[in-house]
Chains A and B, each alone.
Chain A
Amino acid sequence: PALGLFLFTIARDPLRIIILIAGAFFWLVSLLLSSLIWFIAVKASDPQDEPLQKGLLIFGVMFSVLLQEAFRFLYYKLLRKAIEGLVALSEDGCSPISIQQMAYVAGVGFGLMSGAFSMINLLADALGPGTVGIHGDSQLYFLTSAFMTMVLIFLHTFWGILFFHGCEHRRWWEIAAVVVMHLAVSGSTFCNPLYVGSLVPSYLLMAAAAAWAYSLSGGSTQNLRRFLLCK
């Protein structure tokens, strides 16, 4: 689905592609820094201690979430400057791309990158021989990974919209809500392999975020009804 999003909405306009790749880049940098921190922490600690390692991992995840949001903010700042530049350069005084579109594309960029990083090694291994969950782990590993990744990609997209909207209108509570949601989603994955604990809340949160973002972008129930009934 994310690829479909990309193809239909982004691939046409070159500016959006650039914003997408830049968004992916920012996510990547945030990942880099967070893994640097984690790596240092791991090296500084005892490798044999299992719970400690897991605790460190959890700490790493949380830190990474915070860093991702921080980089989203930085990216927002960059895009603001870029919009001013584009407005100055365009012929008719208005930017060729609006901040909401940028928010959307940035969100997709983040999402795609995070999804890609989560899934791609999995996919590569999935091509090879083997049995899922042979050591007593869940047999649904691949399926749940796929679903989780998809939900994360969508969530990143919606968070992008919400976040940028919050920054635009200076509503700090919106930004805080996004951060909290992200933390919640990541936190819920800690209950894996108890998949009920992670997938269900994530999907619920995604639905909520989707509705919120939709309403923020100017949609309404009438639009939705008209769209669904193809009026």
Chain B
Amino acid sequence: MTELSAHLPQFQHGQLTENFPDNHLSNTNDNSERRRHDNSERRRNDNPESETNGQPHNSTQQVVEQDEEEDEELTLKYGAKHVIMLFVPVTLCMVVVVATIKSVSFYTRKDGQLIYTPFTEETETVGQRALNSILNAAIMISVIIVMTILLVVLYKYRCYKVIHGWLIISSLLLLFFFSFIYLGEVFKTYNVAMDYITVALMIWNFGVVGMICIHWKGPLRLQQAYLIMISALMALVFIKYLPEWTAWLILAVISVYDLVAVLCPKGPLRMLVETAQERNETLFPALIYSSTMIWLVNMAEEDPEAQRKASKNSTYDKQAPANQTQNEDAEADDGGFSQEWQQQRDNRIGPIESTPESRAAVQALPSHSQTSEDPEERGVKLGLGDFIFYSVLVGKASATASGDWNTTLACFVAILIGLCLTLLLLAIFKKALPALPISITFGLVFYFATDNLVQPFMDQLAFHQFYI
């Protein structure tokens, strides 16, 4: 049924990323889902289902048909905005990673490898090295596959508490432990003296606010910033602990796996998406970057459009209690997953936290059917795993390329173009798509090509000061 299938914020499913504590034995895996371009027709179809408070929604049906054609056209017109909405965070993440790699030498030192990649790459012969890296990549990929399947199984059997606990532990780890290491290394690099108490205070604040923002509610920008930061941290960990050839192989294999897992009917990620759709739920809050947020209106807001949005929120929220059997946390984090666009919000509304009072007040407002919703309210979601792997690619390029900045720049542009193309395909196909393959392919091609072909050329040109 198109409505149901179109109902949820559909996610392109991503692959699992793993948190690697250095000496830790626990395996926490994050399932990162991909993004999905939302059509407003889906949102219109949202209304019939979400109106559990007995609103008349006959009018919405007519509006639905009429709006559908307009929205088809508007999709691509506003597509550019969405692409930019995704460009910016991806760029930011990459910039952070590259900046760190360039300045903090910790992340380019070889300090050993993870237990997931037991074979070393410092071998005598090239063949041995190749073999080792292939084995490493195989082990890593199989771990990821196992974790994905585990996650899907848990989700299917509604063990939400387990998934949630898992996510919380892993984000705790990321937010506290890794950022502590990161901060320590940055201080070492810049020779800043710092005492433990200040550090403890800073890390504590950072971590707690991060946990709240990601798993519960918080201002959208802050949540986005935190997601970018943890993606960058994760990417840095990967860059540090994965040896050369293994890293490239893993990138390549992961994009293939991604393609398979999302598009094949029996793929685990696709099953995850479909299960989530069947149950009318949103997916995990900590694993997806969302560019929009639901409007949670303050009581004082008198703008009628805002009130309509508030009423939409109220209907959406009322749907939440209906699904109470599932994880409260995911529902409570509705904020991250609606398709409202927050541009006007920035202009008009102040704080966005949905305190219980404001929610109650919002729910008390009369709900009209959304006949004239702003067609700009659409958001795009991208899984965190995508951020991480893009940043790994660019980070590795800047760390180990002989062409240095040229290669980094080339990979950056390649990834952005891949993202553009993927979004275009998304607009055409309108279903969950893997975000990794195209970008990573471009990135890899450009990395190797630039490093080996362009670099000598540009060097010679710069040496003679020729310009092309």
Binding site for B on A (CB under 8 A): 13-15, 17-18, 21-22, 24-25, 28, 31-32, 34-36, 38-39, 42, 53-54, 57-58, 60-61, 64-65, 68, 85-86, 89-91, 96, 113-114, 116-118, 120-122, 124, 141, 144-145, 148-149, 152, 185-186, 189-190, 192-193
CB distance from A124 to the nearest CB of B (A): 6
Given A36-B453, A39-B457, does the pair A14, B80 have CB atoms closer than 8 Å? yes
Contacts of B449 in A (CB 8 A): 32, 36
Q: A86-B76, A121-B404 are in contact. List 5 more A-B contacts (CB 8 A).
A: A28-B410, A31-B457, A35-B453, A60-B457, A121-B462
Contact of A14 with B466 in the complex, beta carbons under 8 Å: no
Q: Which residues of B contact A86 (CB under 8 A)?
A: 76-77
B464 contacts partner chain A, Cβ-Cβ < 8 Å: yes
B80 in contact with A118 (CB, 8 Å)? no
Check if B124 is an interface residue, CB within 8 A of chain A.
no
Question: In the complex, A24→B73 CA distance in Å?
Answer: 28
Instruction: Chain B residues near A113: list those with CB within 8 A.
Output: 409, 413
B194 touches A (CB below 8 Å):
no
Please indicate which of the listed interface residues B410, B450, B467 has the most CB atoms of chain A within 10 Å of its own CB: B467
A32 near B454: Cβ-Cβ < 8 Å? yes
B410 proximity list for chain A (CB < 8 A): 28
CB distance from B41 to the nearest CB of A (A): 15
Tell me if A17 and B77 are in contact (CB < 8 A).
Answer: no
Closest CB in chain A relative to B17 CB, distance in Å: 26
Q: Nearest B residue to A193 by beta-carbon distance?
A: B465
Q: Which residues of A contact B406 (CB under 8 A)?
A: 117, 120-121
Q: Name B residues whose Cβ lies closer than 8 Å to a Cβ of A.
A: 70, 73-77, 80-81, 83-84, 87, 403-406, 409-410, 413-414, 416-417, 420, 446, 449-450, 452-454, 456-458, 460-462, 464-468
Tell me whether chain B's interface is mostly helix, strand or loop, or mixed: helix
A39 B468 Cβ-Cβ under 8 A:
no
Q: Which residue of A lies closest to B457 (CB)?
A: A35
Say how far A149's CB is from chain B's closest CB, in angstroms.
8
> Smallest distance from the beta carbon of B438 to chain A beta carbons, Å?
13
B416: contacting residue among A21, A32, A152, A185, CB under 8 A = A21
A25 pairs with B73, CB closer than 8 A: no
B468 touches A28 (CB 8 A): no
The reply to whether B466 and A189 contact each other, CB–CB distance below 8 Å, is yes
Q: Known A21-B413, A25-B414, A114-B468; judge A61-B453 contact (CB<8 A).
A: no
**Interface hub of A57, A68, A117, A193 (most chain B Cβ within 10 A):** A117
Which residues on the B side are within 8 Å of A61 (C-beta)? 461, 466, 468
Listed from nearest, the 10 A-B pairs whose CB atoms lie closest are A14-B84, A35-B457, A192-B465, A14-B80, A15-B80, A120-B405, A189-B467, A64-B468, A35-B454, A35-B453
Docked Cα-Cα span, A127 to B404, in Å, equals 14
A28, A38, A64, A193 — most chain B CB neighbours (10 Å): A28
Give chain A residues whose Cβ lies under 8 Å from the Cβ of B84. Answer: 14, 17-18
Q: Which of B73, B404, B414, B457 contacts A89 (CB 8 A)?
A: B73
Q: Is the CB of A124 within 8 A of B457?
A: no
Known: A25-B414, A32-B454, A96-B77. A121 touches B465 (CB 8 A): no
Chain A residues closer than 8 Å to B73, beta-carbon distance:
89-91
Across the interface, do A57 and B464 meet the contact criterion of CB distance under 8 Å? yes
Does A17 lie within 8 Å of B87, measured CB to CB? Answer: yes
| Docked CA distance A64–B458 (Å) | 12
Looking at the assembled complex, report how far the CB atom of B145 sits from the nearest CB atom of chain A, in whole angstroms: 33
Give CA–CA (A145, B449) in the complex, Å.
25
Q: How far is the CA of A214 from the CA of B6 in the complex (A)?
A: 49
Contact A57 B87, CB 8 Å, known A31-B454, A113-B413: no
Instruction: Please give me the residue from chain B that is nearest to A22 by CB atom.
Output: B417
* Alpha-carbon separation in the docked complex, A59 to B416 (Å): 32
Given contacts A117-B409, A120-B405, are A89 and B467 in contact (CB under 8 A)?
A: no
The 8 Å CB contact of B464, one of A28, A32, A65, A192, is: A192
Q: How far is the CA of A193 from the CA of B465 in the complex (A)?
A: 8
CA distance A185 to B466 in the complex (A): 10
Distance in Å from the Cβ of A36 to the closest Cβ of chain B?
A: 5
Contact of A152 among B76, B403, B456, B467 (CB under 8 A): B467
A89 in contact with B76 (CB, 8 Å): yes
Per the bound structure, the CA–CA distance linking A7 and B73 in Å amounts to 29
Shortest C-beta distance, B407 to chain A (Å), equals 10
Flag if B77 contacts A89 (CB, 8 Å): yes
CA distance A61 to B414 in the complex (A): 23
**28 A–B pairs (Cβ distance < 8 Å), ordered by A:** A18-B80, A18-B84, A18-B420, A21-B413, A21-B420, A31-B454, A32-B449, A35-B453, A35-B454, A36-B453, A39-B456, A53-B460, A54-B464, A89-B77, A90-B73, A91-B70, A91-B73, A114-B468, A117-B458, A118-B458, A118-B461, A121-B404, A121-B405, A144-B465, A186-B466, A189-B465, A192-B466, A193-B465
A14–B461 Cα distance when bound, in Å, is: 34
Which residues from A are CB-within-8-Å of B416? 21
Q: How far is the CA of A121 from the CA of B83 in the complex (A)?
A: 29
Residues from chain B with Cβ under 8 Å of A149 in the complex = 467
Q: A31, A90, A91, A124 — which one has the most chain B CB atoms within 10 A of its CB?
A: A31
CB distance from B342 to the nearest CB of A (A): 16
Identity of the chain B residue whose Cβ is nearest the Cβ of A195 in the assembled complex: B465
A53 to B463, CA, bound (A): 13
